[in-house]
Amino acid sequence: GQQLNQSPQSMFIQEGEDVSMNCTSSSIFNTWLWYKQDPGEGPVLLIALYKAGELTSNGRLTAQFGITRKDSFLNISASIPSDVGIYFCAGFSGSARQLTFGSGTQLTVLP
């Protein structure tokens, strides 16, 4: 089946720094989603992308739908302690009825 490679697996950054993470797919997707999961809670949707090349922001978060439709990027600017958590990408191809999830990026923000 489809696979998503998400990198990096973990990041340790200083408060105030910018963060970048990405996902690549072996197949084309027509929807990319980015989620954040806090410890002990369910994933929360951050950003949804529906068109190749689309760039969408949500506060300090910006995500892009790659023009090849096989990748997506998430950037967090000026990180703060509450950004700590696991970030997941997910893709959907339209012909499938399932989301495919990346393995997650564990983000730690150091004071």
Where would I find the H helices in 4-105? Answer: none
Location of structure tokens 């696979």: 3
Task: Tell me whether residue 42 or residue 111 sits nearer to another protein (CB atom).
Answer: 42
Alpha carbons within 13 A on the beta-carbon side of 94? 8
**Beta pairing partners, 65:** 72
Which residue number, 65 or 88, has a Cβ lying nearer to another protein?
88
CB of 37 to another protein, least distance (A): 8
Comparison of 7 and 31: residue with beta carbon closer to another protein: 31
**Residues binding another protein (CB under 8 A):** 1, 31, 33, 35, 40-45, 48, 88, 92, 94, 97-99, 101-104
